[in-house]
Structure 1
């Protein structure tokens, strides 16, 4: 059906009292609601709340969960009997979507374990493994703006679905007649039939017990910490975890402690955005804090800010925090046999250099923590390596693998311990980072996301990828092009091609002769095209200069100039 047919179908079949009907009838641009179906990828679904097949609503949730139910049904009675655990964050409609997921599963005779109150994403991953369920569902849009919501689907290993399983769900969804035709049982009926069980504190306590394994130093720790969950889900577990680890000098950003689906005190609930630390910095200045911590709404990402050599709080990058964690971890256990560190193809080479110094092997995966989890599972099966640490540049870290997704709760307690370790030596985290730069080189990275929404935006993103794929930018000093969609790398000077042993994905990475690199990929969850950059210099000044020059050279070749990206425009000044 084209978008007009879909619109007519919805207006014909929506219940008269459904709020989405009125919203749809008054919509200024209904084509945007129906011009495509909301994509289910390996990270699940994410989109703007609203009516239509291109938005997050009860009906698109039903269709996606029905796809999962079909997958479990095909696996047989054992998979169905293990059930599915469901959690949700604080966003608009999250609780409703979580219950709706249980209703659809119940329609197929599949049992649900549902957290009645909001919980963070890493706890959902833990719960899948702890309860031994066949799958997990997390209702969240992570760090997106308030008008978004989403759904993540996890496999029985506690990791987000890989492409094969996600593709199975997509095929099941494609065969369904309409998302409006489901008639699932009520909550009361599910409870009566034993298909719905509410869960809570037991899982929390089990997670906190597992969290103790991340602690490498015991006893009370003299570190002054300011923490904010940015109106999200992390507060109870982070507070308890820090206290149990011996961190008692903890100040909470009271304005941001309570869940708020509008994230009313921040422009974006994303700890990658420095503005998200505005209130935390004010608190930090009052108490002279050593460490500022911020988690995103579903608590899988952690941001860290510390005082620089001028006494001003600066937000560290995900690459820098990962390097500090890895260095500390390896110093505390330097003789691990066949140790492995896992990072993504857009993560800094900083961690690789540190790992190599300790004889630890570095493995790279595609972007997305599901691929890191896949590698961990491979090591478990083969005993080929021992997993030590996994991280990605987008503020995601994993220290212990009882969770199989990035875990900001683990990370918050661990980086606090790193700060305590260096404070006992009379150093701040910032001074420790400068020491790592002096030892391994001055690595600098950046990320610019160009937001390109709607049909026109999708076409612009396609044009960007085609431009760089078809016209190899040799004039920038590029010597190697890695095309992950083709599954091959091309060495430009020799013309030699090599197969890339990773799943195919629409990603391009360019390596320069001086070991600098940049990477371009469309976001899998947002209407954005992402540009990653990495360089290494002999000094901070040299590396910053190299980074700016590389950014400018790349952006001059981009075939679109969006007006809504200040970072992008800045590169032309």
Structure 2
């Protein structure tokens, strides 16, 4: 269907939701916007939908949410009556229409005879994952756009293990969803009827209580000085209650909450971008930190699956740590603790993504622990954990990704900023007891294993033309022309689309043994690397870089040269955009 036909159908639909109808009428002459809203259907990324709020088939709205919910319902029904009765847990964050979308999902699933458990207030993504496992439901859904700006929302789908749905399940749900030709035809049940028939149950604080009890199992051994001063901000999101309770359970009493950002706010009024990966998200936390002279600043994103930190140095200034640096500190502390207590399993495995620092592998090697790479996306980490459970050949120890996502205890099967916040506080407290900070700990790791440095460059290319340009960029880097023209000596090319890696010098070609994905990784002869990956949830293409030097000065120089070489190629490809 041409985008004009799709737009006309929305204009002519008499029962269109009032707010959407008004938006549509205001923009009726904005052809560029109309085309972007209707030229395609909003599609699944790594585990569900995510997009800008608004009218149209390429936006998050009540109709696209209902359609996705029906796609899930049809998938669950295809799995049998037991799956229907086990049901679905639904959670939502504080974004615009999140609570409404959560109820609409329940009303669609309930209409189709599928039992639903809906949280009675906003809750975090890790609690949703935990609840799926606790209640033994067949699936779970959280309404969130994670760390995206306020104009976005999304819908993430989880499997029965509490992890984001597998590619196989996602493809099946997508197929069912795409079979629905008329998204205005999706039927819903009344909330009161679902409650009366037992197809809808509201969940209260009891699930949070159960989760907090499990946090005790991931605390480090011993009793390091807990006199650490912490400032924490939920960034207007769902993490406030659980992170605060987690820190309290771990014995931290000197915790100051950024009160202005403890209030759920769909507009994220006090912060430009609610992403703890960005230093600007810490502006208010910094003000609090300087006032109380906090040792550690912690922030979590709106659905509390990502966590960022800043550390006060000896001069009293705050230094922001990267996701890779936080991961290295957490991993080292965990493995050191298990080694000291003689609880290290012989078959332990650390899981990280293909674009996460190699420092983690070096740390794990020191303790005789295997490191395994997976594709970008925490769902692939959770899938490996499930595989370990089923085969009993490996034991999960820690999983992380460079984009500020970490998992310690496998009672959750997605990245968990609550767990990570508690553990990073414990690690900081241990260093403080020795008269050190996390920065000292990080420097010790660099001195021991080498000065690893990483960087990320993202280019946003919106709309239909932007998506075409992203495809063009990836295709060029995949071509033989790039390999011949690139000035740096390439050693290995890993093409996750073909599922093979190639030794550039010998031509040797072998399987990667990973799922198919639209991503590339290039490893240079000196061990440096860069990777290219279009985002599955945003109109972006991302370029990752990693180097290792004997000194920080050397690694700085290596990183700068690598980035310049790659981004010069990219600039040439985008100069006509």
1:431: which partner in 2?
440
2:295: which partner in 1?
290
What is the rounded CA distance, in whole Å, between the counterparts of 1:305 and 1:562 in structure 2? 36
Task: Write out per-residue CA displacement over residues 8-57 of structure 1, whole angstroms, 9 at most, x where no aligned residue.
Answer: 11222241662211211221231111011101233200000000100000
1:70-149 matches, cutoff 5 A:
70-149=74-153
Please state whether the residue corresponding to 2:118 is helix, strand or coil: strand
Shift of 1:563: 11
1:241 partnered with 2:246: yes
Shift of 1:307: 2.2
Please state whether the residue corresponding to 1:333 is helix, strand or coil: helix
1:482: which partner in 2?
494
What is the rounded CA distance, in whole Å, between the counterparts of 1:308 and 1:482 in structure 2? 39
The answer as to whether partners of 1:272 and 1:394 remain within 8 angstroms in 2 is: yes
- In structure 2, relative to structure 1, the CA distance for the partners of 1:561 and 1:41 (3 Å cut) is closer
- In structure 2, relative to structure 1, the CA distance for the partners of 1:432 and 1:563 (3 Å cut) is farther
What is the rounded CA distance, in whole Å, between the counterparts of 2:174 and 2:395 in structure 1? 34
What is the rounded CA distance, in whole Å, between the counterparts of 2:46 and 2:278 in structure 1? 25
1:66 partnered with 2:58: no
Please state whether the residue corresponding to 2:154 is helix, strand or coil: strand
Gaps of 5+ in 1: 565-573
Please state whether the residue corresponding to 1:486 is helix, strand or coil: coil
What is the rounded CA distance, in whole Å, between the counterparts of 2:234 and 2:575 in structure 1? 32
1:461: which partner in 2?
470
What RMSD in Å do the two structures reach over aligned CA positions? 1.3
The answer as to whether partners of 2:111 and 2:188 remain within 8 angstroms in 1 is: yes
What is the rounded CA distance, in whole Å, between the counterparts of 1:17 and 1:421 in structure 2? 55
The answer as to whether partners of 2:221 and 2:337 remain within 8 angstroms in 1 is: no
Please state whether the residue corresponding to 2:185 is helix, strand or coil: coil
What is the rounded CA distance, in whole Å, between the counterparts of 1:17 and 1:383 in structure 2? 51
What is the rounded CA distance, in whole Å, between the counterparts of 2:17 and 2:442 in structure 1? 58
What is the rounded CA distance, in whole Å, between the counterparts of 1:106 and 1:237 in structure 2? 29
Task: Write out per-residue CA displacement over residues 298-322 of structure 1, whole angstroms, 9 at most, x where no aligned residue.
Answer: 0000001112354321110010000
The answer as to whether partners of 1:14 and 1:21 remain within 8 angstroms in 2 is: no
| Pick aligned residue for 1:507 from 503, 519, 523 | 519
Q: Which moved more, 1:187-196 or 1:385-394?
A: 187-196
Shift of 1:535: 0.3
What is the rounded CA distance, in whole Å, between the counterparts of 1:336 and 1:221 in structure 2? 28
What is the rounded CA distance, in whole Å, between the counterparts of 2:217 and 2:522 in structure 1? 39
1:268 partnered with 2:280: no
The answer as to whether partners of 1:452 and 1:562 remain within 8 angstroms in 2 is: no
| Pick aligned residue for 1:365 from 357, 360, 374 | 374
| Pick aligned residue for 2:324 from 316, 319, 323 | 319
Shift of 1:208: 0.4
TM-score (norm 1): 0.97
Task: Write out per-residue CA displacement over residues 428-482 of structure 1, whole angstroms, 9 at most, x where no aligned residue.
Answer: 1111101111011000001111011001110110111011111215421211111
The answer as to whether partners of 2:47 and 2:164 remain within 8 angstroms in 1 is: yes
What is the rounded CA distance, in whole Å, between the counterparts of 1:454 and 1:217 in structure 2? 51
The answer as to whether partners of 1:85 and 1:112 remain within 8 angstroms in 2 is: yes
| Pick aligned residue for 2:556 from 523, 544, 557 | 544
The answer as to whether partners of 2:46 and 2:377 remain within 8 angstroms in 1 is: no
| Pick aligned residue for 2:528 from 508, 516, 520 | 516
TM-score (norm 2): 0.96
1:53 partnered with 2:57: yes
What is the rounded CA distance, in whole Å, between the counterparts of 2:144 and 2:12 in structure 1? 30
When the two structures are aligned, how many residues end up with a matched partner?
Answer: 564
What is the rounded CA distance, in whole Å, between the counterparts of 1:497 and 1:474 in structure 2? 20
Task: Write out per-residue CA displacement over residues 259-312 of structure 1, whole angstroms, 9 at most, x where no aligned residue.
Answer: 111111111000001111111111111111111100000000000111235432
- In structure 2, relative to structure 1, the CA distance for the partners of 1:110 and 1:16 (3 Å cut) is closer
The answer as to whether partners of 1:450 and 1:562 remain within 8 angstroms in 2 is: no
2:507: which partner in 1?
495
| Pick aligned residue for 2:307 from 302, 314, 326 | 302
1:444 partnered with 2:453: yes
1:22 partnered with 2:31: no
1:570: which partner in 2?
none
Task: Write out per-residue CA displacement over residues 66-98 of structure 1, whole angstroms, 9 at most, x where no aligned residue.
Answer: 011001101111000001000000000000000
Task: Write out per-residue CA displacement over residues 385-418 of structure 1, whole angstroms, 9 at most, x where no aligned residue.
Answer: 1111000000000001000000000000001000
What is the rounded CA distance, in whole Å, between the counterparts of 1:360 and 1:30 in structure 2? 53
What is the rounded CA distance, in whole Å, between the counterparts of 1:498 and 1:406 in structure 2? 31
The answer as to whether partners of 2:70 and 2:186 remain within 8 angstroms in 1 is: no
Gaps of 5+ in 2: none
1:569: which partner in 2?
none
Shift of 1:108: 0.4
